Amino acid sequence: GDPWEPEPLPSNPAMGLFRLVSVVLVWSAVARAPPGINRAGVFRGPAVHASRGLSGLRGLRGESLQRKGLQMAAREVIAAPPSLEVYEAQLRDSIALEEGARTMSLPFQSEIKESDIKESERKQATEPKRKSRGKEPEMWLDDDSTEVTNTHRVTMGLVWGMSILLLTDAAQHMTGPMDSLLAPLVVGFTMLFADAFSGLFHWAVDNYGNLKTPIFGSIIHSFQGHHSAPWTITFRPFLNNVYKIARVVVPLMALVVATSIGSGLWAWQIAAVVFFNMQILGQEFHKLSHMIKTPPTISKLQNSGILLSKRKHLAHHTSPFEGHYCIVTGHMNPLLDRTRFFRRLERVVYELGGAEPNCWKLKPELKEAVLKGDYKNAL
């Protein structure tokens, strides 16, 4: 079948949840990776045939031809034309290399012939290199930048401080072996819920509102602009990247602290810490899924399903951007997409207030199918 179709839920969700917990323990080290990692190879990387609008290694026949494609990819030339399509082609090539050059059946992709590769190689050798659009970030807010400020540091300091306070209070109120057994279940369930909520939030800001929307205007503007220049996120250091989410989390977490400290509601406190931190870290996992080059450890975490994988998230970056919204781990995408959860929600929103989501505007057939109740064809 088509690997870009929503994947089934993990056959062993308990083991998947256990692996998810491990990423929280190592994340502080990952987040402090050298700054050069974020920028190294951004909009540079494997480009077997980007100059002709081809991507990936699909259609390669025979081991020698596949090896030839890998050798060409390893040259890491900057390919023409300078556009979003080039970036996406390079990202797909990166996925193919990291997954061992397994065949990728991409939508809109044509069969690649040996003659195509030779022609692409000839053009890359003879044509002058053009400056790629993805070499620089593109901002959608006048006061936005990729710099880390004291405001960013203080905001995340508050989040981490309140997280420690809540977990300490929770630990003091856990008594007996049953609580110790229940705690991992709370963490696992909350992670699944956090992934689903990230999809709900992503769907909302992708499809409704604009810069003038109260409270969430800047987030909405950034998420919607992200589709036209997805490489911009890879230029952002950790604190800069997660700040827009963290500043919304701070007052909500403060409310939990004010109402739960000393209450003995340890399960609620643990769930709150996991949920809020996963929403913040989800934006960083999102960034990692857009990097052409990722450290080997990150690639292994992505390919094993602990972090959001490049392959799963790239499926979202196809107009009309109507699915694959979950960005913490992506584990909830199959369930939400196959049940047409977002199409049904869009119908409710439309019938209540008449607002059309952006995905309907990009693909009118979606609106027609949803309003007819034909969810099977609402793709």
Question: If you search the block for the tokens 């259609």, which residue do you land on?
Answer: 59
179 located within any domain? yes
pLDDT, tens digit, for every residue of 123-160? Answer: 545 544 433 345 678 877 778 889 999 999 999 999 99
**Long-range contacts of the stretch 59-67 (C-beta < 8 A, 24+):** 59/110, 59/111, 59/112, 59/113, 60/103, 60/112, 65/114, 65/117, 66/101
* Token representation of residue 365: 């057939």
* Token representation of residue 153: 């540091």
Give the structural domain span for 190.
Answer: 143-306
How much is the average pLDDT of 189-205? 96
* Token representation of residue 96: 């193919």
Asked which of 50-54, 288-292, 294-298 is least confident by mean pLDDT, the reply is 50-54
225 located within any domain? yes
Please, are residues 195 and 321 in contact by the beta-carbon 8 Å criterion?
no
Q: With a threshold of 0.85, does the pTM exceed it?
A: no
Residue 238 has pLDDT above 80, yes or no: yes
pLDDT at 135: 62
pLDDT at 112: 38
377 located within any domain? no
pLDDT, tens digit, for every residue of 4-61? Answer: 444 454 445 444 544 554 544 444 444 444 444 443 333 333 333 333 333 333 343 4
164 located within any domain? yes
CA distance 225 to 242: 16
Number of domains in the chain: 1
Task: Report DSSP state, residue 196.
Answer: H
378 located within any domain? no
pLDDT, tens digit, for every residue of 203-223? Answer: 999 999 998 999 888 889 888
pLDDT, tens digit, for every residue of 8-19? Answer: 544 454 445 445
pLDDT at 119: 53
Q: Pinpoint the alpha helices (H) of 127-237.
A: 150-172, 176-207, 217-226
Please, are residues 102 and 153 in contact by the beta-carbon 8 Å criterion?
no
3-state SS class at 145 = coil
28/170: higher pLDDT: 170
pLDDT, tens digit, for every residue of 351-365? Answer: 999 999 999 999 999
Asked which of 281-285, 315-319, 345-349 is least confident by mean pLDDT, the reply is 315-319
CB atoms within 10 A of CB 193: 16
* Token representation of residue 337: 């997409």
pLDDT at 33: 44
Number of residues that this document lists for the chain = 379
* Residue 37 exposed, middle or buried by CB count within 10 Å (0-12, 13-18, 19+): middle
337 located within any domain? no
28 located within any domain? no
287/29: higher pLDDT: 287
136 located within any domain? no
